[in-house]
Amino acid sequence: MSGFYNVASSLVDTKPLKQKDRKKPLLVTESVLKQVALGENLLEFLYPGLVIDTGNETCPQCSETISEDYIALGWKSCDSQDYTTTCPRCTRRFVARFSVKCESPSFMGSQGPSTPLYCEFLSPWVLRKELRNVIRSNGGIKEMMSPSWRNEDEINATLWWNMMVSFMRYRLPITFLLQGSVNNRLIMPSPDS
């Protein structure tokens, strides 16, 4: 399997997963790996001191700390109407959340500038449905790529940061999602060597 790299998830689990729940390592090509690294570096450049905390959600019933992996395991497959996950300990359904923090004074959080942003943790099916609604009702994808779109409304910010979390979770390049953030310069993929 030359040309493929084993990429571990960027998650830090709070407790070990059961053997049957463990994810298989993600294999990516060298060129995809370069794009993933470029996107993560650009994200850090645009949002200095960025911390996306997806692993410290607590069940409101039993107070179990639930990792991102268990949140994902609790989503109902293919259900775009269900915004909840299931606690692996007590099986209560609840809306999971994650936080985004940044050292930039212009970062708009849930309580105003320079505060953490608290986002609902959306399943891929819910995220797809919500993004389709935004694309159909607003200025389309071009509008969504604008930094002002993700900063003007907490709902927009939640959708955008869910895209970031999902793409980073599955080790997908995010550079195209950052297009509007770099003074109208097109971020070109690097040519294969």
Confidence of residue 189 (pLDDT cuts 50, 70, 90): low
Confidence of residue 60 (pLDDT cuts 50, 70, 90): very high
Predicted pLDDT at 2: 38
Predicted pLDDT at 118: 96
Q: pLDDT at residue 4 above 50?
A: no
Predicted pLDDT at 13: 37
Predicted pLDDT at 183: 60
Mean pLDDT of 22-29: 70
Q: Which of 70-79, 100-109, 181-190 has the lowest mean pLDDT?
A: 181-190
Q: pLDDT at residue 148 above 90?
A: no
Q: pLDDT at residue 12 above 70?
A: no
For the question of whether the overall pTM of this predicted structure is more than 0.95, the answer is no
Confidence of residue 94 (pLDDT cuts 50, 70, 90): very high
Q: What is the 3-state secondary structure (H, E, C) of the chain?
A: CCCEEEECCCCCCCCCCCHHHCCCCEEEEHHHHHHHHHHHHHHHHHCCCCEEECCCEECCCCCCEECHHHHHHCCCCCCCCCCCEECCCCCCEECCEEEEECCCCCCEECCEECCCEEEECCCHHHHHHHHHHHHHHCCHHHHHCCHHHHHHCHHHHHHHHHHHHHHHHCCCCCHHHHHHHCCCCCCCCCCCC
